[in-house]
């Protein structure tokens, strides 16, 4: 894990500008072609939920800025850049509720999907919400909204401290002319992430060419 002094890096003035804002989060939504991804998952019998989350997590890990987090310890404020970030995802719970689970990100899709299934099953009947805030920041918060296609989304964030964990969500599959797309939304802290970094995320997402552990 890399530690960065935000007053002594090339991004210092940009960091200070957005760090002082009351609403510093930047979000964008785009439709992504997942035709090949879904065909492969169905052919191999892989959970579509796990296959999509694997692709999203891999693409996000490929962008160093999406692995950066703001931390405050007493009077000390700094930025960390994790070597790898794992998905923290929502799990449906009985009664129309939800909970959270997390698994380590791994390049092997079969192993990843198995871990997702086990973690989801463990939370399926847990009615006591267990968030990850204040426990760890080496995660991406991830949500699936399979009921709808959306063109934008705003995620809840903390305002009493610099909440810098990216939020990623995806929606209903849409098939047109033999191709399948889905909306993908990502929301980030602008003190760390710019539009070019989001472009790199969607680029990695489109081609699926990313390392399992980006340094």
Q: Which domains does the chain have, with CATH numbers?
A: 24-68+83-207 (3.30.559.10)
Measure the CA–CA gap between 31 and 6, rounded to whole angstroms: 34
- Here the tokens at position 82 are 């994790």
Measure the CA–CA gap between 79 and 102, rounded to whole angstroms: 23
Q: What is the DSSP letter of 8?
A: S
Segment 122-174, tens digit of pLDDT: 998 888 888 887 779 999 999 999 999 999 999 999 988 899 999 999 999 99
Question: Whole-model pTM?
Answer: 0.92
CB 94 within 8 A of CB 107: no
The per-residue pLDDT of the chain, averaged, comes to: 92
Residue 205 has pLDDT above 70, yes or no: yes
pLDDT grade for 213, boundaries at 50, 70 and 90? very low
CB 160 within 8 A of CB 22: no
CB 206 within 8 A of CB 32: yes
Measure the CA–CA gap between 186 and 28, rounded to whole angstroms: 6
CB 82 within 8 A of CB 67: yes
pLDDT grade for 24, boundaries at 50, 70 and 90? very high
The fraction of the chain above a pLDDT of 90, given in percent, is: 85
pLDDT grade for 198, boundaries at 50, 70 and 90? very high
CB atoms within 10 A of CB 158: 11
Q: 74 in the Ramachandran plot: left (φ > 0), alpha (ψ -120 to 50) or beta?
A: left
Segment 73-122, tens digit of pLDDT: 988 999 999 999 999 999 999 888 999 999 999 999 999 999 999 999 99
- The CA-based angle 59-60-63, given to 5 degrees, is 95
CB 66 within 8 A of CB 188: yes
CB 126 within 8 A of CB 179: no
pLDDT grade for 208, boundaries at 50, 70 and 90? low
């Amino acid at each position: 894990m890399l530690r960065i002094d935000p007053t002594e890096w090339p991004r210092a003035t940009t960091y200070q500008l957005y760090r002082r804002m009351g609403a510093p989060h930047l979000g964008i939504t785009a439709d992504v072609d997942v035709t090949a991804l879904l065909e492969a998952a169905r052919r191999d019998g892989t959970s579509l939920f796990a296959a999509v989350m694997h692709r999203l997590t891999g693409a996000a890990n490929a962008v160093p800025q999406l692995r950066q987090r703001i931390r405050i310890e007493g009077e000390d404020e700094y930025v960390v850049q994790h070597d790898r970030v794992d998905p923290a995802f929502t799990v449906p719970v009985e009664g129309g509720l939800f909970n959270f689970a997390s698994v380590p990100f791994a390049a092997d899709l079969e192993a990843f999907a198995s871990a997702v299934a086990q973690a989801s099953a463990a939370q399926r009947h847990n009615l006591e919400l267990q968030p990850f805030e204040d426990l760890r920041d080496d995660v991406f918060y991830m949500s699936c909204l399979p009921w709808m296609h959306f063109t934008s989304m705003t995620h809840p964030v903390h305002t009493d401290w610099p909440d810098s964990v990216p939020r990623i969500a995806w929606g209903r599959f849409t098939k047109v002319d033999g191709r399948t797309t889905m909306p993908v939304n990502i929301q980030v802290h602008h003190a760390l992430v710019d539009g070019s970094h989001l472009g790199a995320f969607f680029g990695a997402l489109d081609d699926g060419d990313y390392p399992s552990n980006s340094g």
